[in-house]
A and B are shown apart, each in its own frame.
Chain A
């Protein structure tokens, strides 16, 4: 199934060249979790990162469905 991963600001350095506006499409097997999807990328997987599914705070073990968007950014932000 197809899902999307979006990385923001400096995390975009971890994206492959085909990414557009920080978004890359991935073909992943059924049962893929938020953690599985995001751990493909070289970003910190601890409190330094905020990871959301379709903009919502969820458990990292949540199973993805077709069309989902996983977004990650550095927690050291603020405006």
Chain B
């Protein structure tokens, strides 16, 4: 077989038993890889009602058929499990180098079951698979852990690990790889912590065999030229990454500001991409085989926020920055570095602190409970809250549960801006209606990575849609969700896939991804089959969600009942009821959002 190894490494952490399994080639083809394979196994093997932090939960690391191939940005993996933050499905994506190294072990997927009685890490060097003690790195941050584990295994290995937040089961804990890259969302790091699994260390030389290596290489070279070498487009990402987006969303009035009380931030110039470029940028830092290179190394050289690391991305600026009303860029960078070191999702971390700030200012939570004043814009208090969250210390224990549980505990659930208990990313859906439908229906709770229609509503890729209208948005959301399921399953980064394959003709994306996957696997997908497989993945994820008991597709109070007070979207709320029925119809789901028997049969899914 080509492209895929068709091999799974299964690790039972309770018994320390390690087994190798073959993957049925039909399952491999029908579910694509990565996110698709993972939901197939998760749905088959675990009770969706299981407690996410119990040994019954299953944690899956999954690469795709383009991971570790010459495909540009074929460097991604997905972490799939049941989320302790949402109680729904989690699938979090990351790049860097670890995913490629993981696939070079000769396995496409690692499945972790059970719970180790003591801290351990997994070391995999092809057929050498060892569950080793992690007692000496337990309690250490992700950077130190990475350095120590590479020193004792091999500098040729790559490390994915949790920090203190994951060990302490903070519900926004991420799994960090290569120190700075995060499978961030939905608390996947807490699941790893609940299993006493501190790290996964991978190395090997087993690159997947390619069905048509010459065509793959030629396609890769051409794509890289088109995507990355174009000076204007390429240099834009290399200098700014996503850090210039605050200027865009601020212009459109959808920049989350002070816990979504506003859509514009008066100090945006202090924390945008140009401020970063002029003060703290060192150089761009690409993921493996990436022609875009949006990652950036930054440094605050001295002072009380001294530190060095990668970022911030837009999502960090819109949560720890504008979300909290913070306009001090050095403090924002420090907060970003700390989240990476403790191993925390910056979106949920920032927006949970933002909710606490609003509750403090409104008098719903006292200074006595928090232990200090917590006003919007108080960057030093924000940094202290991050530390308390990671260690679940004092009020940090409340924060470590996320904004939904925090707001509910203190009697004001209307303050939490979440769906399925997960915090919104950086696009206020009152001024981007399609994003509203996406957040409401997403199987994993609010996430732009579920099907980022902001590409059309905000960025004009491939065409600019009016973000304030609802017409055509149900179809747009479905198209993006299925496209993202395809990209996530293939092992490509959406940044390149979108630039390479998004077109006014919506069949171009499945055409180009099918072509790439065929060069890799020889599976001979037609574009229609590739898209159908993505829809199969999306519907199976829906079935998992329904069986996990999280059914209502809605939005928080603020989005439906509190009009934006400022900016171009002033006066708007999300008109969800105008979009939801049409969306269900397009999906082949009933009026409650449940896939119909006909749809399940069409996709070959279990009834």
Contact = CB atoms under 8 A, between A and B. Distances in A.
Interface of A: 6, 8-10, 12, 21-22, 47, 49-50, 52, 54-57, 71, 73-79
27 contacts: A6-B251, A8-B248, A9-B236, A9-B239, A9-B240, A9-B273, A9-B274, A10-B236, A10-B239, A21-B269, A49-B460, A50-B459, A52-B252, A55-B568, A57-B465, A75-B459, A76-B461, A77-B236, A77-B244, A77-B245, A78-B242, A78-B452, A78-B454, A78-B495, A78-B498, A79-B245, A79-B454
Contacts of B567: 55
B464 interface: yes
Contacts of A74: 232-233, 236
A78 B235 contact: no
B251 A78 contact: no
B463 A47 contact: yes
B325 to A, nearest CB: 19
A42 to B, nearest CB: 11
Among B314, B461, B465, find the residue whose CB has the most chain A CB atoms closer than 10 A.
Answer: B461
A14 to B, nearest CB: 11
Contacts of B464: 50, 57, 75
Given A21-B269, A22-B274, A78 B247 contact: no
Given A22-B247, A55-B251, A79-B448, A12 B462 contact: no
Interface string B446-462: 00100010110011111
A77 B568 contact: no
Contacts of A55: 251-253, 567-569
B499 interface: yes
A22 to B, nearest CB: 7
Given A55-B568, A75-B461, 16 more contacts: A8-B247, A10-B232, A21-B274, A50-B460, A56-B468, A56-B568, A73-B244, A73-B247, A74-B232, A76-B236, A77-B236, A77-B244, A77-B459, A77-B461, A78-B461, A79-B245
Contacts of A50: 248, 459-460, 464
B458 to A, nearest CB: 8
B413 to A, nearest CB: 28
A35 to B, nearest CB: 15
Interface residues of B, number: 43
A79 B495 CA distance: 9
B263 to A, nearest CB: 10
Contacts of B568: 54-56
Contact of A57 (B274, B448, B466, B499): B466
Contacts of B459: 50, 75-78
Interface string B558-575: 000000000111000000
Among A47, A57, A79, find the residue whose CB has the most chain B CB atoms closer than 10 A.
Answer: A79
B251 A71 contact: yes
Nearest to A76: B233
Interface in B299-323: 313-315
Contacts of A9: 236, 239-240, 244, 247, 273-274
A76 B233 CA distance: 6
B330 to A, nearest CB: 19
A5 to B, nearest CB: 12
Contacts of A21: 269, 274
B402 interface: no
Contacts of A71: 251
B350 interface: no
B275 to A, nearest CB: 9
Given A10-B235, A47-B463, A78 B244 contact: no
Nearest to A23: B269
A9 B235 CA distance: 10
Contacts of B247: 6, 8-9, 22, 73
A30 to B, nearest CB: 24
B295 interface: no
A6 B244 CA distance: 13
B459 to A, nearest CB: 4
A49 B236 CA distance: 13
Nearest 5 Cβ contacts at the A-B interface: A55-B568, A79-B314, A9-B244, A50-B460, A75-B460
B251 A76 contact: no
A79 to B, nearest CB: 3
B467 interface: yes
Among B240, B245, B247, find the residue whose CB has the most chain A CB atoms closer than 10 A.
Answer: B247
Contacts of B499: 76
B467 to A, nearest CB: 7
Nearest to A52: B251
Contacts of B498: 78
Contacts of A78: 242, 245, 452, 454-455, 459, 461, 495, 498
B288 to A, nearest CB: 20
B426 interface: yes
Contacts of B458: 77
Interface string B409-447: 000000000000000001000000000000000000000
A79 B463 contact: no
B460 A47 contact: yes
Contact of B242 (A10, A47, A56, A79): A79
Contacts of B240: 9-10
Contacts of B460: 47, 49-50, 75
Given A76-B233, A79-B426, A12 B274 contact: yes
Contacts of B495: 78
A79 B248 CA distance: 11
A52 B273 CA distance: 20
A13 B466 CA distance: 27
Contacts of B274: 9, 12, 21-22
Contacts of B232: 10, 74
